[in-house]
Amino acid sequence: LKRFNLDQKKQYRKEIRCRYSVEEKDFLIMFVANNFRLKGLRNLIHAAALMKREIESGIPFRVFVLGNGKKALYERLAIRLGCWNEFTFIGKTNEIEKFYAAADVLAQPTFYDPCSLSTLEAMASGLPVITTTCNGAGELVKNGVHGFVLDNPQDCAELSKKLLLF
C-alpha cells in the first residue's frame, strides 16, 4: 500500500498522460499481463473496436498495454479491427504505479488467474476493475462498486458495455 495508493494519482497522472500524449479528457483503459492470450487481450481489442464504433463522436479513449507479451499478433488484430490508434503497447515497466495513477480503469478479462496481482494493485491505487469470474481476485470486486466481474471472458460485447459505463 506504500507503492500503490490514491495519493499516486495526484502525483503521476499528468506525467504519464503527457509522456504518451493522452489528453485529460481521454478515457484511459489499462491492461497488464505477460501472457496476453491467457489474460484476454484479444477480447479487449474486440471490445475496443466495438467501443470505437459506439462512441465515434463521443469521448476519445486509449488503451495502454503493459507487460512482456508477444505483441505482433495483437497489433495486427487492432489494425484489422480499426482500433490501432487507440492502443499503446508500453512493454515492461518498473514504474507501474505511475500508470495506474494515469488510468481510469483496469480491464483484465482473463481466462485464468488464481489471484491477479494487477487487480490488487489497481484496486489499491483506487482504480475500478473489470475482470472475470476466472480471476480469483475478482471475489474482491463488488459489482457496480469496485468495478465489474464478467461471467464470460469471451463476451466482448459485455466487456465493451461495461467499459462504456465509465
Contact by Cβ (8 Å): 162, 45: no
164 touches 54 (CB < 8 A): yes
Which carries the bigger pLDDT value, residue 145 or residue 10?
145
> Which cell numbers hold the place of 48?
475496443
Residue carrying the nine cell digits 497488464? 32
Count of all residues that appear for the chain in the document: 166
- 97-146 pLDDT, tens digit each: 999 999 999 999 999 999 999 999 999 999 999 999 999 999 999 999 99
* Cα–Cα distances in angstroms (integers) from residue 21 to residues 14, 58, 62, 79, 84, in the given order: 10, 18, 10, 20, 15
- pTM, 2 dp: 0.95
Closest alpha carbon to 126 in 19, 26, 30, 16 = 30
pLDDT in tens, 15-62: 999 999 999 999 999 999 999 999 999 999 999 999 998 876 567 999
